[in-house]
């Protein structure tokens, strides 16, 4: 009985706390959806513009060829600075003799000291064969996955050399491992995302790193005497399907492609289910108005087979939308027979029916043979049997292994001189670049402040306000003014929400006693507009992953957008005659700190800037890659130009880390 009574007391007390917190809410709608809604609307505008360009492109062959060139140029720009082609230092570490084919175990270096493990399936015979790059999906076993082995065996037994490459973070290529080779993250998709966020700081990405491994794999493949270099294609499933889509646009040596269980409509997918893991996300794709179909449009009118499952978690409606665009492209080129969609009544994966159709498609265009070949049962091999390295992981097999996290750490030092040169330019040039990189809008469009109510707390009157600026999200604000003459303005931006500050009566009273106006705000994605946890898979190590990735997709980082919000608050102050000439102290915590610091570079009215729980350098992200919520701090390409300490030097404020 006592336990029930105690439970009731705790329950009622928790209700009281929630109600007390909600009294400070300003927005009278389901504000937690606001940021995602805003970002989706911005994305739609970009893709509306793309649709107009696409419709112009399919009006003639000439227009379509120009459109293809534009896609390829944009893609090259998105990929960033790819490495130079250096010696592959290829080693065959073993082989397996099987039925009508053999498997060679091969390791090569896609750049110095970065080892890539792969298997090469070679048919019996003394002639040159067409070749296929088979890209693996997200299975931990990578090249040892049964469905991929079966695909490679089927192709090898019917006249194709097949090369299967372990992607980073899978198979023998986990980048974060302990001394025994055990991965430090829960799976490859998590590691892909952690890799992507650190690479993004240099304008690089996990998709670019995977593409480069594949490019160097193809460089090796064409050196083999068994390979007819005029007949090479690529095939991939799931995440490997994404690799096939990118690779088809990148390398002209690819003559035929068949992505499985991945092609969809990027715009629709990002709206209904959000971003996937880091190996499928390159910042600024939306800004450049690139759809998934565009990468395949870039390879047209080469033979292209789309494999799909009607009940796949990859959005099938989006698959049909993308395929519809491809049909229009191939029709414009008058090559309709070179495009095919095969849909099977199953889900995700390259199942037997899909493998058989893929083989038929490749033989049609590589051998001029349209006969259907049924897959027979063949022996497959264990992960250990297919292991290329002596230990099962490149991190433990090679003492000189340079993983991608280490590569990124070294890049930071390499770009130090470039940052120094950039920062030696006139301030105007520097500030324009900072705005461009992070997506800050420096235009001072009109500000409108709307008061929506007030709360009386002791002798303080807390005014609820919404600050609005054209093309930006509404900012919920609490405004508290002392009864005496104002001496100073104090702004609080708390990553846990403004309600935590407003509920601290002693803090507010201390400011009022010192004749300070207090402004407590929720910049976007924080407090009232914080995204719900249910929309953000914890495997991505970020509590606002879907909005962070969508922001990067449209080319406007959340850091930059939040900087816009801080600037709007400062503009509101400057538009008020009573406040405009007063000194400003800005306090920010956690993910609010970098936007606050950037705002102090653009607006010189901030005199004191107190930063709580802030990063001191982007190098923190490189040094502690498995910390959570780093993506909330990411500005693509930033470490080629400036670091946190450089912002402090550019700021007019006295900056104090608390």
Mean pLDDT of 265-286: 96
Mean pLDDT, the chain, as a whole number? 95
User: pLDDT at position 4, please?
Assistant: 52
Q: Given pLDDT bands bounded at 50, 70 and 90, which one contains residue 17?
A: very low
CA distance 515 to 215: 65
pLDDT of residue 20: 57
For residue 647, is pLDDT > 60? Answer: yes
Q: How far apart, in whole angstroms, are the C-alpha atoms of residue 495 and residue 530?
A: 10
pLDDT for position 187: 87
Cα 120 to Cα 104: distance, rounded to the nearest angstrom: 5
pLDDT of residue 459: 81
**How far apart, in Å, are the Cα atoms of 457 and each of 454, 467, 533?**
10, 22, 31
Question: Residue 105: which residues within 8 A CB-CB, separation 6 or more?
Answer: 92, 93, 94, 95, 96, 117, 118, 119, 386, 387, 388
- Tens of pLDDT, residue by residue over 334-346, are 999 999 999 999 9
Assigned token pair, 416: 């130090």
The per-residue DSSP string of 474-526 comes to -EEEEEE--SS---EEEEEE-TT-HHHHHT-HHHHHHHHHTTEEEEEE--TTS
pLDDT in tens, 504-539: 888 999 999 999 999 999 999 999 999 999 999 999
Beta bridge partners of 654: 608
pLDDT of residue 227: 98
Strand order in the sheet with 114-123: 91-98, 101-111, 114-123, 161-165, 129-135, 227-237, 256-260, 304-309, 339-344
Number of H helices, E strands in the chain: 22, 17
Question: Higher model confidence: residue 193 or residue 20?
Answer: 193
Helices 188-200 and 404-414 meet at what angle, rounded to 10? 10
Q: Where in the chain is the domain with CATH 3.40.50.1820?
A: 121-414, 417-657
Under 8 Å between Cβ of 240 and 275: no
pLDDT digits (tens, 9 = 90+) for 224-253: 999 999 999 999 999 999 999 999 999 999
% the chain with pLDDT above 70: 97
**Stretch 84-88: mean pLDDT:** 98
Residue of 71, 86, 78 lying closest to 248 (CA atoms) = 71
Mean per-residue pLDDT, 315-332: 98
Question: Is 90 exceeded by the pLDDT of residue 21?
Answer: no
Tell me what the mean pLDDT of segment 372-391 comes to. 97
Which token pair is 69?
């060139």
pLDDT tens-digit readout, 122-142:
999 999 999 999 999 999 999
- Which CATH fold topology does 121-414 show? Rossmann fold (3.40.50)
Task: Indicate the helix (H) or strand (E) that contains 11.
Answer: helix 2-22
Nearest to 543 by CA among 526, 557, 556, 561: 526
d(CA 193, CA 384): 27
* pTM assigned to the model: 0.94
Coil, helix or strand at residue 345: coil
**What is the distance between the alpha carbons of residues 170 and 123, in angstroms, rounded to a whole number?**
26
Rounded to whole angstroms, the Cα distance separating 120 from 599 reads: 54
Q: Provide the terminal-to-terminal Cα distance of the chain, rounded to the nearest Å.
A: 47
Tokens 């040039």, residue?
429
Q: What is the CATH number of domain 417-657?
A: 3.40.50.1820
Q: Which residues are 114's β-sheet partners?
A: 111
Helix (H) or strand (E) holding 249: helix 239-250
């Amino acid at each position: 009985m006592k336990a029930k009574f105690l439970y009731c007391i705790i329950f009622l007390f928790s209700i009281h706390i929630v109600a007390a917190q909600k009294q400070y809410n300003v927005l009278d709608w389901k504000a937690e959806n606001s940021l995602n809604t805003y970002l989706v609307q911005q994305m739609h505008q970009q893709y509306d513009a793309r649709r107009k360009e696409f419709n112009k492109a399919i009006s003639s062959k000439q227009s379509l060829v120009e459109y293809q060139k534009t896609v390829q140029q944009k893609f090259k720009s998105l990929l960033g600075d790819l490495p130079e082609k250096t010696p592959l230092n290829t080693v065959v570490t073993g082989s397996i003799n099987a039925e009508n084919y053999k498997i060679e175990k091969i390791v090569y270096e896609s750049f110095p000291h970065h080892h890539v493990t792969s298997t090469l399936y070679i048919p019996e015979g003394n002639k040159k064969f067409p070749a296929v790059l088979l890209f693996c999906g997200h299975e931990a076993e990578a090249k040892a996955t049964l469905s991929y082995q079966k695909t490679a065996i089927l192709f090898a037994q019917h006249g194709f050399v097949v090369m299967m490459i372990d992607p980073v973070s899978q198979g023998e290529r986990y980048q974060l491992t302990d001394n025994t080779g055990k991965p430090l993250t829960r799976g490859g998709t998590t590691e892909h995302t952690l890799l992507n966020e650190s690479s993004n700081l240099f304008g690089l990405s996990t998709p670019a790193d995977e593409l480069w491994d594949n490019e160097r794999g193809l460089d090796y493949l064409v050196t083999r005497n068994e390979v007819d270099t005029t007949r090479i294609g690529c095939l991939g499933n799931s995440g490997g399907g994404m690799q096939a889509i990118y690779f088809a646009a990148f390398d002209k040596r690819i003559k035929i492609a068949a992505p499985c269980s991945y092609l969809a409509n990027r715009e629709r997918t990002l709206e209904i289910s959000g971003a996937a893991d880091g190996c499928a996300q390159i910042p600024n794709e939306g800004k450049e108005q690139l759809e998934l179909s565009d990468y395949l449009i870039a390879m047209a009118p080469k033979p292209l087979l789309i494999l799909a499952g009607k009940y796949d978690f990859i959005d099938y409606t989006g698959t049909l939308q993308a395929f519809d665009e491809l049909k229009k492209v191939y029709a414009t080129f008058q090559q309709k027979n070179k495009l095919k969609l095969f849909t099977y009544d199953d889900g995700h994966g390259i199942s037997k029916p899909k493998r058989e159709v893929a083989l038929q498609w490749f033989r049609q265009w590589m051998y001029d043979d349209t006969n259907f070949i049924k897959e027979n049962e063949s022996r497959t091999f264990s992960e250990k049997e297919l292991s290329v390295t002596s230990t099962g992981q490149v991190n433990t097999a090679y003492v000189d292994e340079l993983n991608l996290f280490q590569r990124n750490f070294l890049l930071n030092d390499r770009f130090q001189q470039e940052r120094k040169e950039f920062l030696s330019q006139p301030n105007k040039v520097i500030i324009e670049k900072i705005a461009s990189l992070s997506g800050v809008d420096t235009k001072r469009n009109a500000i409108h402040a709307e008061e929506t109510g007030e709360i009386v707390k002791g002798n303080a009157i807390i005014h609820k306000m919404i600050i609005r600026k054209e093309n930006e999200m509404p900012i919920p604000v609490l405004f508290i003014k002392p009864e005496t003459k104002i001496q100073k303005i104090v702004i609080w931006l708390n990553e846990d929400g403004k309600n935590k500050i407003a509920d601290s009566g002693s803090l507010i009273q201390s400011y009022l006693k010192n004749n300070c106006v207090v402004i407590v705000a929720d910049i976007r994605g924080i407090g009232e507009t914080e995204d719900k946890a249910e929309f953000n898979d914890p495997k991505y190590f970020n509590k606002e992953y879907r909005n962070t990735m969508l922001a990067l997709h449209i080319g406007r980082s959340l850091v930059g957008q939040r900087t816009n919000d801080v600037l709007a608050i400062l503009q509101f102050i400057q538009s008020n005659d009573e406040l405009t000439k007063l000194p400003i102290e800005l306090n920010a915590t956690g993910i609010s700190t970098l936007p606050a610091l950037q705002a102090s570079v653009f607006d010189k009215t901030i005199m004191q800037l107190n930063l709580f729980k802030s990063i001191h350098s982007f190098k923190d992200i490189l040094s502690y890659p498995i910390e959570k919520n780093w993506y909330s701090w990411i500005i693509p390409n930033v470490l080629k130009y400036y670091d946190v300490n450089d912002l402090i030097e550019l700021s007019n404020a006295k900056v104090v880390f608390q």
